[in-house]
Every structure is written in structure tokens, then in C-alpha cells.
Amino acid sequence: VRRQSKSADLSTDHLVHSRDPRQIERMFDAIAGRYDLMNRIMTFGQDGHWRTLAVTAAALKSDARVLDVAAGTGDLAIALARSVGPTGEVIGIDISTRMLDLARVKAAGLPTRFQVQDVLQLEPSGDFDAVTIAFGLRNLADRAEGIRRMAGALAPAGRLVVLELTPVTGRLARLIRLYEQQIIPLMGSLIAGRSQAYRYLSQSVEASVNRGEIGRLLADAGLIDVRSKSLALGTVALVWATKPSAPG
Ligand SMILES: C[S@@+](CC[C@H](N)C(=O)[O-])C[C@H]1O[C@@H](n2cnc3c(N)ncnc32)[C@H](O)[C@@H]1O
């Protein structure tokens, strides 16, 4: 048993650093059925509130066109679609077919479309009023390229909004790490039957970018007026910025 868990550690270690899209896709395909339930339990029901704050940060008009990257089972896309109303449109993209299958069912009747698409291959359409990504940035093999691609999809004056789990520092760090590294994989095993995927989650958070670094990625991609908010004892960052308006 010990040898087995050691090899699981080694493979999640590897994935945290390679973030190989094929393996990430397989992992999310495998946990899709229990993904929403795990989110509710792990976050003590707070994840919906964080997504609501992300929708507010996107500052949408009622007919806005929005691209939700790494849309997963669609919770943020659905909240965005309710905000833009029937004259708007939300396109959700993801590399996991099974996550998107669930999103399509949940979003039935809302102005949404879901497509299998890797954000790292996204063309610079320059026509979305807002681009969002929730809990997806840390999974990208090249996070700076992901942000550049998202910025390229924005229309002038459009908003890019990033919601992400971030590594913890400060007085509560040991307690929070204990929760993320021991309790969450245990829950993942009991509820989703996938302790490895949830061990990946905690390891990938630890190895990920913090709120300031996300802000710098947005600025480096040419976005301006970078703002951010720290949520949930510093474990979640909401960062948003604007694409400059076209000159003249
Ligand atoms: C933790 S889930 C987040 C889902 C959703 N945004 C939410 O708030 O619950 C991360 C998602 O990112 C997707 N993903 C990972 N790499 C991607 C990529 N290169 N392009 C698009 N989606 C990707 C995964 O398939 C997964 O569905």
C-alpha cells in the first residue's frame, strides 16, 4: 500500500510541473461526475459566492458576449449567462468533453454554447466583452501564454477576470495546508473515489501563482487597471483588468 501511494505522489508531482494537457483532460473527465459536489463540500458552500464576485468584476452589459475559459461543468458560465440575459451570449471552452457534457445539461435554456477547445490554441478574435477563467489558470502548461491568448480574445475595453486558488502564507498557513493536503485528498477518495486527482489539486495550488503574480501576468499581456481581491483567508484570489480602448 505504501509503495502504491508513493507512486501516486510521484505521478501527481510530475503532473503539477508538466501540466500535460492530455493527462489534465483525462483527470477532469474522470472526476466530472462528482466535481460539483466536491466543490460544494470542499469550499463549505462558498464557491458560488466567489463566482458571483467574478461575474460582478466582469462588469457586463445586458447584451455582452463572454468567453468563459476552462468552463468545466459550467457554473461560472451559467452565472454569467444569467447576468447577460437572453440578448447576450456566453461561450464556454474546455479540454474535457465530460465536464462540458454536464455543463450543457445544466445550462439548458440559457444563452450558452460549450465547445471543446484548448485555450493555448485560441485564436486572437478580439471580439469578446469579457473573458473569464475560474480555477483553470493553475492547470495550464503555460500560464503566461494562456493569459495572452485570453487577452487576445478581448475586444477593446473588455474585461479579463481570473478567479484562482492561491498558495497560502501567514499565521493560518499550516492549518490551511493541513486541510488542503490531508483532508481534501481524503474527501476526494471517499466522495469521488479519486484521491490522486484531489492530491493534485492541493499540490498544484501550492506550486501555483499568487495574487500579485496573476496581476503581473495580466499587466504583461498588455492589460491595464489591474485590480484584485483576496478571499477565503487568502486561499482564493480574484484578479481583473481591462484591455486598453482602441486609439482614436
Ligand atoms: C478546476 S476546473 C474549473 C471549472 C470551472 N471553471 C469552475 O469554476 O468550476 C478546471 C478546468 O480547466 C480545464 N482545462 C485545463 N486545461 C485547459 C486548457 N488548456 N484549455 C481549456 N480548458 C482547460 C479542465 O479540463 C477543467 O475542466
The 10s digit of each residue's pLDDT in 86-136 is 999 999 999 999 999 999 999 999 999 999 999 999 999 999 999 999 999
pLDDT 10s digits, 49-89: 999 999 999 999 999 999 999 999 999 999 999 999 899 99
pLDDT above 60 for 5: no
112 in contact with ligand 1, CB cutoff 6 A: no
| Best residue among 139, 164, 205 to mutate for probing ligand 1, ranked by most atoms within 8 Å of CB | 139
Predicted pLDDT of residue 247: 59
Q: Does 76 sit in the ligand 1 pocket, CB within 6 Å?
A: yes
Q: Give Cα 19 distance to the centre of its chain.
A: 14
CA-proximal residue: ligand 1, atom 20 (nearest): 118
Q: What is the C-alpha to C-alpha distance for residues 42 and 45, in angstroms, rounded to an integer?
A: 8
Q: Is 120 in the pocket of ligand 1 (CB under 6 A)?
A: yes
Give the DSSP letter string of 217-243: HHHHTT-EEEEEEEEGGGTEEEEEEEP
